[in-house]
Amino acid sequence: MLPNAYPARFIGLSRTVVVWLAILTVVALAVALPWALWLSPPDYQQKDTIRIMYVHVPSAWIGLMAYVLMAACALVSLIWKKPLADYLARAIAPIGAVFTLLCLVTGSLWGRPMWGTWWEWDARMTSMLVLLFLYLGYMALSNAFDDFTRGTRAAALLCVVGVINIPVIKFSVEWWNTLHQTTTVFKKQGPSMAPEQLTALLLMALAFHLLFALLVLVRTETEATNARLRSLGALGTD
Amino acid sequence: MGLFLSVLGRDLRLALRQSSDSLIVVGFFVVTVVLFPFGVGPEVSVLERISAGVLWVTALLASMLSLDRIFQQDYEDGSLDLLTRAPAPLTGIVLAKILAHWLTTALPLVVAAPVLAVLLQMSPEGFSALVAALLLGTPTLSLIGAVGAALVLGARRGGVLVSLLILPLYVPVLIFGVSAVDGAASGFAVASQFQIMGAILLVSLVVCPLAAAMALRQALE
């Protein structure tokens, strides 16, 4: 570990940001959750099950975005060997994995009343499942070495290889089987959703992204502190 | 080029002198495939339906089991250190080792596959597609696998870990491989599957040796 591996400026900045971010997240959740789960009108076809979608879709967005972010950090870590990028990537991994899992679980809960099955080998679900495995592989590899830097760098390389693979996996799985709802928000003609539903969805998406950023910052600080303790020899065998 | 050939020759000689290693991989392939009729029952229609998938998944597992052969031994006895210091690009050396791995483990699987296809009642139209798809798909498996094998050098429980790392990356090859064989067995045109598998192979041929070489340098740092 390099002597200047502790990103003091970033941590100092992040401590201030975290406070404001925490307040914002609480406010956003306090507005978005009641709005999406109680106040917004039920769908004329899906009734109240539409509310699952307000958790499901933002989780899916974050699950995907987190992997791309992680890969960007991994690339920075491989090229410039910045310890901060290592901490960020390691901080993002479990959070991204949890959001991906949340997406799968809520999708399954929604699928039971709508498609009549807990699990369907549909293209989008399957690629999210593969994404979850990629996260698990990253976390397993980054913790498989006695040497912290070796584990993180190996996992970074895996992450970059994985991000090259994701489009191929997505394409192949789609080719294999498709049943899922098509995209309704990001379309050329504009979103094909009722405005009330779209508002609820976007509010939830905003709240979830804030939550994600908050968790990442807190975890990054933890990773950095852990690394500092490790270099001082305070964390046992590491 | 000379170094490429000598590394390839060395790995092939090593594999031939411990030829039981290659045979064990083929043995695993055969025994696992033979287990399936016990598991799903001996009905011809069921076996015929699942034959392509069973053969592909089992071949994929068999080639994964032998991945530690690519780098592990050289890592332990130190010859990998010397190879990385050789006056040639490490990428080429890695490619030679991957080629040696493919020749000694995947090629025997390709030879054994049609025999097992007979046991699984696959319709004869699928045989040539099975061999062709395996010939086109297994090099990709070896290439991706080499990255995984290089990443886990020195890790705790590397053998189990490598499966978690690379099996998700095998999904596209599996999908198109099975689809090519299934399509050919039921008499459809399968040119597009082969083209996509060829494309995946070409991309892996560029990316994987580079990534594996980087992983090796990390492992030896």
CB contacts of B211 in chain A (<8 Å) are 157, 160-161
Instruction: Establish if B218 touches chain A: CB-CB under 8 angstroms.
Output: yes
Name the band, by pLDDT with cuts 50, 70 and 90, for residue B61. Answer: very high
Chain A interface disruption, residue of B64, B141, B165, B220, most A CBs within 10 A:
B165
Residues 6+ apart with CB under 8 A from A69: A88, A92, A96
Residues of chain B found within 8 Å of residue A134, distances taken between Cβ atoms: 168
Per-residue pLDDT reduced to its tens digit, A200-220? 888 889 999 999 999 999 999
* Residue among A133, A143, A161 with most chain B CBs within 10 A, to mutate: A161
Beta bridge partners of A43: A47
Q: pLDDT by residue (tens digit) across A166-188?
A: 888 888 887 777 555 566 666 65
DSSP assigned state of B190: -
Residue A1: pLDDT band with limits 50, 70, 90: very low
Question: What 3-state DSSP class applies to A43?
Answer: strand
Task: Count the neighbouring beta carbons within 10 Å of the beta carbon of residue B216.
Answer: 28
CA torsion sign for B27, B33, B34, B36 is positive
Distance CA B139, CA B203 (A): 12
Which tens digit of pLDDT belongs to each residue from A59-94? 999 999 999 999 999 999 888 888 888 899 999 999
CA distance B30 to B9: 28
Please state, in angstroms and rounded to a whole number, the distance separating the CA atoms of residues A33 and A38: 8
Domain that holds residue B33: 2-220
Confidence category of residue A3, pLDDT binned at 50, 70, 90: very low
Show the DSSP H helices in B1-89 as ranges: 2-17, 19-40, 44-65, 68-77, 79-84
ipTM, two decimals: 0.84
Return d(Cα A52, Cα A106) in angstroms, integer: 6
B178, pLDDT greater than 50: yes
- Amino acid letter, A182: T
Query: Which domains does chain A possess?
Result: 7-231 (1.20.120)
DSSP for A190-225? ---S-HHHHHHHHHHHHHHHHHHHHHHHHHHHHHHH
pLDDT in tens, A144-160: 888 888 888 899 999 99
Q: What pLDDT is attached to residue A188?
A: 58
The pLDDT value given to residue A44: 67
CA dihedral B213, B215, B217, B221 (to 10 degrees): 180
Token readout for B137 is 């798909």
Count of Cβ atoms closer than 10 Å to residue B199 Cβ: 12
Across the interface, do A150 and B167 touch by the CB < 8 Å criterion?
A: no
For residue B144, pLDDT over 90 is answered with yes
Please return the burial class of A24, using the count of CB atoms within 10 Å of its CB with bins 0-12, 13-18 and 19+: middle
Count of domains for chain B: 1
- Lowest mean pLDDT: which of A39-53, B1-15, B116-130? A39-53
State how far residue B16 is from chain A, nearest Cα, in angstroms.
Answer: 31
The model's confidence at residue A238, banded by pLDDT at 50, 70 and 90, is very low
